[in-house]
Amino acid sequence: MTPRKDATAKKTDVVVITNAQSGLSDEQRGRQRRYFYSMMLRTACFISTIFLPNPYRWFAMAGAVFLPYIAVVIANAGRETITGKNAIMRDQRLQITDN
């Protein structure tokens, strides 16, 4: 006679609180902060086009023109970049065994 396996004795992953993701409000606050800093740099580029001499003026103007696109991409980088140990779902394949 083979010993019975208890149905409740399944192998499960233990969730550790240190592996938990930050809250959505914290993540949104970080995104807003990154976007704000990028837009302040854009404003500085616009203002510096007034005071800089001719060759440097064009670099500042290019920064002012292309920075909004870069700022949006950086600000939208969020939870989709989380991989590895902090992944929400893990690939766990179950095997069917004969008892």
Q: Where are the domains of the chain?
A: 34-78
Instruction: Find the mean pLDDT for residues 21-29.
Output: 77
Q: Which residues, in sequence order, are CB contacts of 57 under 8 Å at separation 6+?
A: 48, 49
Contact present, 70 and 38 (Cβ < 8 Å): yes
The more confident residue out of 54 and 74 is 54
Task: Tell which wins on pLDDT, 73 or 21.
Answer: 73
Distance CA 22, CA 70 (A): 24
The per-residue DSSP string of 14-57 comes to PPPGGGSPPPHHHHHHHHHHHHHHHHHHHHHHHHHHHHS-HHHH
3-state secondary structure of 80: helix
pTM equals 0.56
> How do residues 42-54 score in pLDDT, each as one tens digit?
999 999 999 999 8
Asked if pLDDT for residue 41 goes beyond 70, the answer is yes
